[in-house]
Amino acid sequence: MKKPKVDRSKCEGHAVCVGIAPEVFELDSEGKAYVKNPEGADEQSIEDAINGCPVQAISWVEE
């Protein structure tokens, strides 16, 4: 099963992912995104968030 993953070393806190899939992504106290619920949206919404990230900090990982 694949799940979204945020590379926090790349994340700059643009929050595009939060805007596209707020039930999956959230910003923490440092202003960086993290995955709060990997199953919070359909695969296409998560894919849109991945593609929308301006610094390419989100990807799919197999678990």
Per-residue pLDDT tens for 3-55? Answer: 999 999 999 999 999 999 999 999 999 999 999 999 999 999 999 999 999 99
Nearest CA among 55, 9, 52, 10 for reference residue 24: 52
Sign of CA pseudo-dihedral 51, 56, 58, 63? positive
CB 27 within 8 A of CB 35: no
pTM (2 d.p.): 0.94
Question: With 90 as the cut, is the pLDDT of residue 63 above it?
Answer: no
Domains of the chain: 2-62 (3.30.70.20)
| pLDDT at residue number 43 | 97
Give CA–CA dist 3/60, Å, rounded. Answer: 5
Q: Residue 17 corresponds to which tokens in the numbers above?
A: 């992912």
